Amino acid sequence: MTVVQLVISLLFVSLPKVHCDIFDNIYVVHATDSSVTMTCPVAFNGPLIWKHNNMRVVPKHTTYQAHNITLNYELWFGEYSCWGVTENPEELKKLGSVHLLEEDSDRTVSLLSCGAKSYDCIITCVWTGNDFKAVRLGLGSDCVSSFDGQNNCNWVYPTANLAGFHFNLSHSLSPYAEETAPLVVTAEAIISTSYVREIKRFYLRDIIQPDIPAVKCQLKDQNLNMKVEPPATWSTPRSFFPLEHEIAYILKDNGKEVLSKDLHIPKDVSRVRVHSRDPLVPSSWSQWSPWKNVVTGDKKGKKHKGKHTIRCKTIKNNKTKLS
């Protein structure tokens, strides 16, 4: 394992715990709040003090009551830590922290996008704001309620933070039944001293985009017969989940690109590529497969090999071997 691979693997392991720890103790201030009361998350028998961003909180405009602190006048956002006073007054024991965050309700640009490669049980989502400290997602109506109801939600934490926060969400929809209600994904994110919440509703059928298919071909008379194989991630049985294919090819004589849903194309082409979609919805088209150079006949040699070449064998004696 290289150093880069080790760093990335450690990052993947540590991300969920880091994000979970941050969300464990936060207090969100809404625009209508005139005061807030925070409780030290750890019990302590004895007096304690509070610090704001490592500076002791002065009694002005604050009220202490047991393990609680109430800010009555000014709201200073950031980390509030509670410290227990030990037998030695000069030594303090840090008990825990509460992060006071301001609700950011002015954002109009969505940072959350979701997609699915099939009708199976996994949805992938990406939160594209890289400057956020932590993000988590919840699937279902239990996560839509106010922040105080967070314990009813099964929150999911990112699997990676490379070009955005990446999530895998599991749903229980039957791939054989018609959807009667949309899926609901709730995102909670922290940036600096602000709390951002976004809710996205969609039907599974509207976010389907198959993976890239594979293409093979054979030469018959004056045509190339193209065979497109569904991606391995596509739902089965394939008879119940058909795919529609579209071929793009470049003509040898004039270099013109032609699109065709007919899988029988002229043999005088130089390159081909293909993409697929569910025709019943219809879904989004998959990404195009890479362009492949077309070699016809049974020619062999290094120049006719490689991942960027597709060799279309001639049909002989009614054999239909594809390559």
Which tokens hold the place of 197?
Answer: 């919440």
133 and 89, same domain (yes or no): no
Specify the pTM. 0.77
Residue 229 · residue 215 · CB < 8 Å: yes
Report the DSSP beta bridge partners of residue 38. Answer: 69
Does residue 306 fall inside a structural domain?
A: yes
37 and 56, same domain (yes or no): yes
DSSP 121-163: SEEEEEE--TT-SEEEEEESGGGTS-GGGGGGS--B--SEESS
Which pLDDT score is estimated for 130? 80
Does residue 5 fall inside a structural domain?
A: no
Residue 293 · residue 311 · CB < 8 Å: no
| Residue 140: domain span | 112-206
231-289 pLDDT, tens digit each: 999 999 999 999 999 999 999 999 999 999 999 999 899 999 999 999 999 999 999 99
Q: Mean pLDDT over residues 40-54, rounded?
A: 87
CATH value at residue 263: 2.60.40.10
- CA 265 to CA 173: how far, in whole Å? 39
195 and 276, same domain (yes or no): no
DSSP designation for 87? S
Number of domains in the chain: 3
Q: Which of 146, 178, 206 marks a domain boundary?
A: 206
89 and 141, same domain (yes or no): no
Q: How many CB atoms neighbour CB 281 within 10 A?
A: 12
Q: Which of 55, 80, 103 marks a domain boundary?
A: 103
Residue 140 · residue 153 · CB < 8 Å: yes
Does residue 156 fall inside a structural domain?
A: yes
Q: Which of 206, 235, 253 marks a domain boundary?
A: 206
Residue 56 has pLDDT above 50, yes or no: yes
Across the beta sheet with 264-266, what order do the strands follow?
Answer: 257-260, 244-251, 269-277, 292-296, 309-314, 214-220, 223-229, 264-266
Which tokens hold the place of 148?
Answer: 């105080």
- Quote the mean pLDDT of the chain: 83
Does residue 288 fall inside a structural domain?
A: yes
